[in-house]
Amino acid sequence: MNPEKEKWLLLGLLSVIWGSSFILIKKSLEHFNPYEVGALRVLIAGILLLPFAIINIKKFPKKNIKWLILAAITGNFVPMFLFPIAETEVSSSIAGIINSMMPIFVIIVGAMLWKFKTTKRQMTGVAISFAGTCILAFSGGVGGEFKLIPMLLLLLATLCYAISTTTVKSKLGDIPAKILSAYVFSFVLILPSIIALILAGFFKDLEPGRDLYIGLGFVSLLSVFGTGLAMMMNYRLLNISTPLFASTVTLLMPVVAVIWGILDGEKLTLLQGFGGFVILAGLIFLRAKPLVKI
C-alpha cells in the first residue's frame, strides 16, 4: 500500500481502537483493581507475542537495549497502571480527552531530548490546550468535585506515551513494527507484569467464577486490541510518518471515548465539554506546522 494512504488508514484504525480502550478499562475495573487491570493488560499481550519474539530472538537489538527498555516502560507499562488508577475517580470520557494532549508532550519532549525544532505557533497551541486541561481539572470528576490527582496521573501517562513515541522514532525506527512489539512485551515486560500481579494480590484473591471470566474477557479485549495489535500499528505508523503525525491519533480518540461514555450512561457537563473543545482547538492550531528535526 502507498505509505501516504497507509498512514491515514492506520491513524483511523488506531483512533477507533485506542478510543475504545477507555471504556474497556472502566469495565475491567468493575471486576479487578487498577493494578490488576494494568498488569493483566501487559501480561496477556506479552504471552501472545512471546512465540513471535522467540522466533526473531537473533534479531534482538542488543546495542539499543537501553532505548528498548525506555520505550517499553514509558509506553507500555507505567501508563497501563496510571489510566486505571485515574479512572477510579474520573470518567472514561474525560480520560480520553486528557490523553488528546499527547501531541503537546511530543513537542516538549522532542525539543528537550531529541532536538526537534518548535515554532511559536506550536507553543501557542500548547498554551491553549493547557488552558483547556485546567478547565477540565476544575470542572470536577465522577462526583463533581475537584479532581487534581487523577488529572495529574492522566497527564503523566500521556507524557510517558510521548517519551516512548519519540524514543521509538529516534532510536528504534529501523526495527520492524511486529518484531519491536514482540520484544517490548515479551522480553522486557512479562516478568514485571507478573511481579505486579503478585503484589496486587491477584493470585491470592483469585476465585474462579462468572465474575472472573467476564473481567478477563474485558481485559483480554483491552490487551489484544488496545495493547498488542494497537502498538504494532503505532510502531508501523511511526516508521512511515513523524512522531507528531502519529500522536495526532489523540485528536480523534476523544470522539470515540466520549461516544462510548455516553452510551454507557456517562454525563459530560457543559464546562467539561468546553474544556475538551479548548484542548482540541489548541491541538488543531499547533498541528498546522510539522516538526522538523535539526
Domain ranges of the chain: 3-293
Stretch 73-100: mean pLDDT, rounded?
A: 90
Other CB atoms within 10 A of residue 55 CB: 11
pLDDT in tens, 11-62: 889 989 998 999 999 999 999 999 999 999 999 999 999 999 999 988 887 8
Separation of alpha carbons 177 and 229, rounded Å: 10
Instruction: Say which residue the cell 512485551 belongs to.
Output: 185
Which candidate, 18, 1, 70, 24, places its Cα nearest to that of 246?
18
Can you give the pLDDT at residue 288?
Answer: 56
Instruction: Please report which confidence band the pLDDT of residue 286 belongs to, taking 50, 70 and 90 as the band edges.
Output: low
Structural contact between residues 141 and 90, judged by C-beta atoms closer than 8 angstroms: yes
Q: How many Å apart are CA 209 and CA 270, to the nearest integer? A: 41
pLDDT for position 287: 60
Average pLDDT over residues 123-150: 70
- Tell me which residue of 47, 1, 8 sits closest to 241, measured CA to CA: 8
Residue 254: per-residue pLDDT: 78
CA atoms of 168 and 83, how far apart (whole Å): 22
**What is the per-residue pLDDT for 206?**
78
97-101, 116-120, 131-135: range with lowest mean pLDDT:
116-120
State the Cα–Cα distance between residues 23 and 87, nearest whole angstrom.
10
Q: For position 139, what pLDDT does the model report?
A: 65
- Please state, in angstroms and rounded to a whole number, the distance separating the CA atoms of residues 88 and 98: 15
Q: How far apart are CA 220 and CA 218, in angstroms?
A: 5
| Nearest-angstrom CA–CA distance, 93 and 25 | 11
How many Å is the Cα radius of gyration of the chain? Answer: 18
- Beta carbons of 222 and 39 less than 8 angstroms apart: no
C-alpha count within 13 angstroms, C-beta hemisphere, residue 180:
31
Residue appearing with cell numbers 480502550: 21
Read off the pLDDT of each residue in 253-277 and give the average, rounded to a whole number.
82
Q: Confidence class of residue 140 from pLDDT cuts 50, 70 and 90?
A: low
Q: At what angle do helices 249-263 and 102-113 cross, to 10 degrees?
A: 150
Percentage of the chain modeled with pLDDT above 70: 91
pLDDT value at 143 more than 60: no
> What ranges in the chain are assigned the alpha helix state H?
3-28, 34-55, 65-76, 78-86, 92-99, 102-113, 120-139, 148-171, 177-182, 190-199, 210-223, 230-240, 243-247, 249-263, 270-287
Contact 166, 115 (CB under 8 A): no
Q: Which of 10-14, 93-97, 105-109 has the highest mean pLDDT?
A: 10-14
Predicted local confidence at residue 292, as pLDDT: 45
Q: What is the pTM of this model?
A: 0.83
